[in-house]
Structure 1
């Protein structure tokens, strides 16, 4: 109990709560290396468990620093902490109270220790995020150019500038995509070849799926993968009066969901198991979109089984093996 330290992380500061004695003690340090060293000096190192929320990118430097110093680190989803506070009827909110609740959560629950990802995997994630941002910018510029073309009066300087920016963005996207493919090839060459053997999944989606799942190394079952993608169903019924529709949770990666949905359009025609599933659900009266979501889940199930087994997709094999079907 005395070895757990709760940290409320913000952009500029770290508010810390720990209990070296009978009473909780608070400490506030800056969110930089000097503050990290002061925190470690005040609270101790290797025999302590530092618990914090996953607050964007603000916690990353602290987590890497503490891990490099041999301290145990736990990074918790903010929603989990919020529900923990609600469960204990917590009232009011401040940085000190948040740090105190985070500490209590670490004291009362068995938490999984955080481990840093490999630098190459982090670089791949950064490239993927940058590519998606540049694609959005290029789409915005293309829409602006289309709107200008429909106007009776056009400023040539604006049109020229937007076209040049669009070309520059396209070159940057192409360069980053090639760099990402090279890094992914060196990081997940075997897994990439296995995933693209599945009808409906191309190299780009395979790469995104591997980055999203961390190479499937920490996935114990395909259900975890489906839940992380936010594709598991969520029922909303109670008693005799509440009869809500069953929807997917959407508590996960929106980007991977959109890519998988596009892949499902191809998979329901060329992937034997996905096609059979889609036709069976539609024949039972299910909506087409609902059937496509089921195909997305089937693709994730196949991807998990194929990567874990190391066996490429085989249409005839999927009919006899329940883990591939």
Structure 2
């Protein structure tokens, strides 16, 4: 659909700043349902938009602060685009000065300049949104537990056990409590997966692949919106940061092909850990890894190939609708 009215919105914790493109009009609203309703009334009045079907509201994806606006617009059938902040920043060139109203104006300008290719955002199902929140919290708790365990281990080597017994007991209690909470979160994640038949089926297909465990499967489902967000595995590999890109210019610059640092680092880390596990416990990939390394190939590039093989297999089993078949055990 072609849009003719573009609204840029800068989202903050308590307020949102909106800018009507071409009319050069800005206003601040509260970041709640009352403020969102006032925003639409203001747009109808000053934007001369009797119908909101050709209106699109653009704003940066700021996590918990922008999700309320996104859900409200989704429920009221207003087109909106949640855009990565880096994408907007890199597209507007050299700019000086910054405040919320200027940011809203720049977002509106970005939307208008890219009006031919701008795509409205489609929110995932509520189950996916809940799964994303639970996985985010789990990742935070796992990182906190790892930090406490590392500090406890190092201090235990350097300090006297008897003199610092009380402190070590606190470390032990913290690690134990975090482990309990992580287990509770994992049970909630499992319950969300079990409550949705489509998610449950894809989860079972993913875990049929050797070395792909429950956490990676859940993260893949959440990240890909149950495999509806990406049309093929190559696009996901680009998003997650495992796709290699050329680095050359003219005849003088011919760098090595390498992956980009712009990626979803959490999912990339999980895929990397699974790839390391596959090199040791997946018979087929273990043979492949050893053969390439024996031929003098770079170890990290080989692991990256295995990461992409795993991504391709995860997309394949979901698209095919059948569990992974290990052909190696049938080989003569």
TM-score normalised according to structure 1 size:
0.87
Q: Is 1:210 equivalent to 2:217 in the alignment?
A: no
Contact 1:9 1:53 in 2 (8 A): yes
Match of 1:120 in 2: 127
Contact 2:19 2:108 in 1 (8 A): yes
Contact 1:278 1:294 in 2 (8 A): no
Q: Is 1:175 equivalent to 2:184 in the alignment?
A: yes
Match of 1:104 in 2: 109
Q: Is 1:302 equivalent to 2:309 in the alignment?
A: no
Match of 1:67 in 2: 74
Between stretches 267-276 and 56-65, larger displacement belongs to 267-276
Match of 2:41 in 1: 41
Q: Is 1:23 equivalent to 2:23 in the alignment?
A: yes
- Per-residue CA distance 1:58-84 (angstroms, 9 max, x = gap): 211111112222211111122221232
Q: Is 1:13 equivalent to 2:15 in the alignment?
A: yes
* Correspondence 1:128-277 to 2 at 5 A: 128-150=135-157, 151-152=159-160, 154-187=163-196, 188-268=199-279, 271=282, 274-275=285-286, 277=288
CA RMSD, Structure 1 to Structure 2 (Å): 2.5
Structure 1: gaps of 5 or more residues? 320-325
Between stretches 276-285 and 63-72, larger displacement belongs to 276-285
- Per-residue CA distance 1:238-260 (angstroms, 9 max, x = gap): 22333333221132221221221
Question: When the two structures are aligned, how many residues end up with a matched partner?
Answer: 315
Q: Is 1:3 equivalent to 2:5 in the alignment?
A: yes
Contact 1:2 1:18 in 2 (8 A): no
Match of 1:323 in 2: none
Cα distance in structure 1, aligned partners of 2:286 and 2:167: 48
- Per-residue CA distance 1:184-234 (angstroms, 9 max, x = gap): 233322112211222221222222222222211222111111112111113
What is the Cα deviation at residue 40 of structure 1? 1.4
Cα distance in structure 1, aligned partners of 2:9 and 2:294: 53
- Per-residue CA distance 1:86-140 (angstroms, 9 max, x = gap): 2xx5554443332222212222323221222222222211111111111122222
Contact 1:231 1:250 in 2 (8 A): no
Cα distance in structure 2, aligned partners of 1:149 and 1:283: 41
Match of 2:92 in 1: 85
Taking a change above 3 Å as real, the CA distance of residues 176 and 100 of structure 1, as seen in their structure-2 partners, is same
Cα distance in structure 2, aligned partners of 1:255 and 1:161: 29
Cα distance in structure 2, aligned partners of 1:52 and 1:274: 43
